[in-house]
C-alpha cells in the first residue's frame, strides 16, 4: 500500500515538473487499475478506498497547478465506477459507517476540483465551467448516497436537503468573494442547491404537500426570474409548478 502511494506521489510530481498531462493520465489509470487487477477478492474495502483517497489527493494537488480536464475526468470516472461496482457486488448495511465517509470525501474532492478548474483558467477563459463535473458529481454522488441510506427513514430526504444546503452555501460563498469570472459557476451551484432542496420534499412528504410546496416555490422562482429578467429562472419555476401539479394529480 505504501509503495503504491509512493509511486502515486512520485508520478504526480514528475508529471507536474515535466508538464506532461499524458504522463499524469497514464499514472492515474495505472494507479486505479492496479488494486483491481491484483485483487484476490477478499481485500478490505477500507484499504481500497484509502488508496483511492490517496490517488484523488494527487489529482487534486495537480489540479491546484494545472488545468488538465482529462485527468480530472479520469479520476472522477475511475473512482465512482469502481466504487459503484464494489457497492453492487459487496456492499452490506454493516459497512455503512466505513463507506459513507469515503463517499463524502470523494464528492468533496471533485466539487473542489471543479472549482479549481474554473479558477485556474487563463485570464481570457476565467470562470470556464466544466459542466460534466459540476453537474455529474452531484448526480452520481446523490445516486450512490440514496442507495446507501435507502433503508433509513427519511435518509434520502435528509441527504437531498444536506446537498441542497451545501450547494446554496457554496454558491453564496463564491458570490461573496466577487472573484472575477466566477459568476457562472456560482449560478450553477445555486441552481443545484435549489434542485436538491426541492427533491427533499417528495422524499419526506406525500403528494399533496409536495404539490403545494413546489407550487409556491415555483411561483417564487418565477417571480425572481421576472424581476431579474432571467429566462432560465422563469422556465425552471414554471416546470416546478408543472411537476407539482403532476404530483397532485397522481395523489
Encode the chain (251 residues) as per-residue pLDDT tens digits: 677 767 777 877 787 788 888 888 888 888 888 777 776 666 688 888 998 998 898 889 888 888 888 889 999 999 999 999 988 888 888 999 999 999 999 999 999 999 988 888 765 565 577 888 888 898 899 889 989 998 888 888 899 899 989 999 999 898 887 776 778 888 888 888 888 887 787 777 665 555 666 566 666 666 666 765 666 667 767 776 676 666 555 65
Nearest residue to 21 via CA among 88, 66, 82, 52? 66
Q: Cβ contacts of residue 23 below 8 Å, gap of 6+?
A: 11, 14, 15
Model pTM score: 0.82
What pLDDT sits at residue 76? 93
Could you identify the residue written with the cell 434542485?
A: 195
Q: What was the pLDDT predicted at 167?
A: 92
Cα angle 118, 119, 122; round to 5:
90
Report phi then psi at 42, rounded to 5: -120, 20
Which class for 189: exposed (0-12), middle (13-18), buried (19 or more C-beta within 10 A)?
buried
Amino acid at each position: 500500500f505504501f509503495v503504491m502511494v509512493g509511486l502515486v506521489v512520485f508520478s504526480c510530481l514528475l508529471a507536474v515538473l515535466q508538464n506532461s498531462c499524458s504522463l499524469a493520465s497514464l499514472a492515474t489509470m495505472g494507479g486505479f487499475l492496479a488494486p483491481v487487477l491484483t485483487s484476490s477478492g477478499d481485500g478490505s474495502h477500507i484499504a481500497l478506498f484509502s488508496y483511492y483517497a490517496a490517488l484523488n489527493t494527487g489529482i487534486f494537488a495537480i489540479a491546484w497547478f494545472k488545468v488538465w480536464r482529462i485527468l480530472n475526468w479520469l479520476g472522477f470516472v475511475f473512482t465512482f465506477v469502481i466504487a459503484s461496482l464494489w457497492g453492487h457486488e459487496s456492499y452490506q448495511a454493516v459497512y455503512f459507517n466505513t463507506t459513507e465517509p469515503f463517499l463524502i470525501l470523494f464528492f468533496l474532492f471533485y466539487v473542489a476540483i471543479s472549482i479549481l478548474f474554473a479558477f485556474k483558467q487563463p485570464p481570457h477563459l476565467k470562470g470556464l465551467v466544466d459542466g460534466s463535473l459540476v453537474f455529474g458529481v452531484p448526480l452520481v454522488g446523490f445516486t450512490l448516497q440514496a442507495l446507501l441510506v435507502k433503508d433509513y427513514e427519511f435518509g434520502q430526504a435528509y441527504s437531498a436537503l444536506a446537498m441542497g444546503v451545501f450547494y446554496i452555501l457554496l454558491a453564496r460563498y463564491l458570490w461573496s468573494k466577487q472573484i472575477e469570472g466566477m459568476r457562472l459557476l456560482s449560478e450553477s451551484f445555486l441552481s443545484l442547491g435549489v434542485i436538491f432542496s426541492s427533491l427533499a420534499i417528495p422524499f419526506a412528504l406525500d403528494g399533496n404537500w409536495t404539490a403545494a410546496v413546489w407550487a409556491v416555490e415555483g411561483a417564487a422562482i418565477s417571480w425572481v426570474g421576472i424581476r431579474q429578467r432571467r429566462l432560465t429562472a422563469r422556465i425552471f419555476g414554471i416546470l416546478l409548478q408543472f411537476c407539482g401539479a403532476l404530483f397532485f394529480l397522481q395523489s
